[in-house]
Structure 1
Amino acid sequence: MKFITTLMVIAFVLSVLVPTQALRVLSEDKKVACIVTDLQVCLSALETPIPPSAECCKNLKIQKSCLCDYMENPSIEKYLEPARKVFAACGMPYPREDAIEVKATHHPVDVVPTHAHTSDVHA
C-alpha cells in the first residue's frame, strides 16, 4: 500500500513539474502544440541570408495555426520583415496577410478615407 501511495505522489509531482503547452484545436481529431522554441531552427534564416532548413520549413508548416498568435508578440517584432523571405522559401503565405484577408471576407467594412479634402469630394 505504501508503494502505491509513493507512486501516486511521484506521479502528481511530475505532472505539476511538466510544463504545460498551449494546444490549438484544428479539428476534433487533430491538435497542434504551439511551441515557439520549435522554431529556433529558423533563427539563422531570419538573421542571415542563409535559406531556411528543411526542418525549419517542416516546423513552420506544423505550427501554421499558431503563427498569427506568435506574430502578435512584441518581442519578435524585429523578425517580422525577415520572416517574409523564410515563408516564401518554405512555400508558405505570410500569416498576417492571410489573417487580414480572412477578416476582410468575413467582416466587410466600408472604409472612409481620413485624409479626404473637400476638393476631393464630388457632388
Structure 2
Amino acid sequence: MNFTGAICIAFVIVLVSSLALTNAAVEDEKVLACNPKELNPCSPAVKTGSKPSTECCAMLKKEEPCLCGYINDPVYGQYIKSKNAHKAFSSCGIPPLSC
C-alpha cells in the first residue's frame, strides 16, 4: 500500500469517528434539553400544595436534571424553591435537590 492510500484510509477513519461523536452529542443534547414550561402540569400542586398529578410526576422526572438550573432563573426559581414544590418532588419520588 502506498503512502497516499494510507492517508486516505486514515482520513476516512477520522471522518467516520467524528461523525459518530457528533451524532452522540446531538442525541445527548436532545435528551438534556431543558424546558421549564414542561412543568406546567405541576402548577396546581406547587401553588396549592395538593397532590401532584401523574402527568406532573412524569414531567418532574423528565426535567429532574434541569431543576437546579431553574433555581437560578428569576421567573421559575421562586417556584422550584417553594415548600410546595419540594412536597411535590417528594411525592413523585424526586430526591431533595442538592444544588
> The TM-score by the shorter chain falls in which range?
0.5 to 0.7
* Match of residue 87, structure 2, among 85, 110, 117: 85
Q: TM-score normalised to the size of structure 2?
A: 0.62
Consecutive unaligned residues in structure 1, runs of 5 or more: 1-26, 100-123
Q: Bigger shift: 53-62 or 70-79?
A: 70-79
Percent identity, aligned pairs only, is 35
Consecutive unaligned residues in structure 2, runs of 5 or more: 1-23
Instruction: Give the C-alpha shift of residue 75 in structure 1.
Output: 2.0
Deviation >6 Å, runs of 4+: none
SS at match of 2:95: coil
- Alignment partners' CA distance in 2, 1:91 and 1:74: 26
CA displacement 1:16-39 (0-9 Å, x = unmatched): xxxxxxxxxxx8554232111110
Higher relative contact order (CA 8 A, sep 6+): 2
Q: Which residue of 1 aligns with 2:10?
A: none
Structure 1 vs Structure 2 CA RMSD = 1.8
Instruction: Give the C-alpha shift of residue 50 in structure 1.
Output: 1.6
Q: Which residue of 2 aligns with 1:64?
A: 64
- Alignment partners' CA distance in 1, 2:45 and 2:67: 16
Q: How does 1:1-123 map to 2 (within 5 A)?
A: 28=25, 29-30=27-28, 31-79=31-79, 80-81=81-82, 82-95=84-97, 97=98, 99=99
Q: TM-score normalised to the size of structure 1?
A: 0.51
SS at match of 2:68: helix
Structure ranking higher in strand proportion: 1
Instruction: Give the C-alpha shift of residue 74 in structure 1.
Output: 2.1
